[in-house]
């Protein structure tokens, strides 16, 4: 039986980093034979905005289309749904822990799984910054999934 995980990715506005992570999650999950479902949200509670144009462009290079995604806040039903909540920066994790103290154990910082403290926000930057953010997100998700795989064995 395939191991299933529900992952919630969180950044500031939910238009750059977390939609990119959401787009990657199920594809990268297959690397480990996992069935990964993903959602994303932002602590800014921005609603209904498409991902940044450069986020869409950089993910298209991976054959992943995130253009249908729309920004959202982080709601109790998302927190309840998720097995793990992966924040892009420590400040996101702090806000999430304050808002959802019962979920503290499942709130993690995604960057830590790639040896970093945070995945910097590329909003408003050149496409090259988005490419490097995409690479960081991929590395960190693979690191996280690798830890899950070790735990499951």
Enzyme catalytic residues: 11, 17, 121
Q: 97: Cβ–Cβ under 8 A, 6 or more apart, which residues?
A: 103, 104, 107
Distance of CA 92 to the CA centre of its chain: 12
Read off the tokens for 113: 């799984």
Tell me the C-alpha distance between 65 and 56, whole Å.
7
Nearest to 24 by CA among 58, 75, 72: 58
Q: 37: Cβ–Cβ under 8 A, 6 or more apart, which residues?
A: 4, 5, 6, 7, 25, 26
């Amino acid at each position: 039986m395939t191991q299933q995980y529900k992952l919630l990715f969180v950044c500031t506005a939910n238009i750059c980093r977390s939609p990119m992570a959401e787009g990657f999650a199920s594809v990268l999950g297959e690397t480990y034979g996992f069935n990964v479902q993903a959602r994303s949200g932002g602590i800014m509670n921005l609603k209904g905005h498409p991902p940044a144009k450069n986020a869409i462009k950089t993910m298209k290079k991976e054959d992943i289309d995130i253009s249908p995604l729309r920004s959202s806040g982080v709601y109790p039903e998302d927190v309840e749904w998720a097995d793990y909540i992966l924040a892009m920066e420590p400040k996101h994790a702090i806000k999430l822990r304050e808002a959802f103290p019962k979920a503290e154990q499942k709130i993690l910082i995604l960057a830590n799984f790639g040896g970093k403290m945070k995945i910097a926000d590329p909003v408003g930057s050149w496409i090259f910054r988005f490419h490097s953010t995409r690479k960081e997100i991929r590395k960190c998700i693979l690191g996280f999934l690798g830890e899950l795989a070790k735990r499951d064995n």
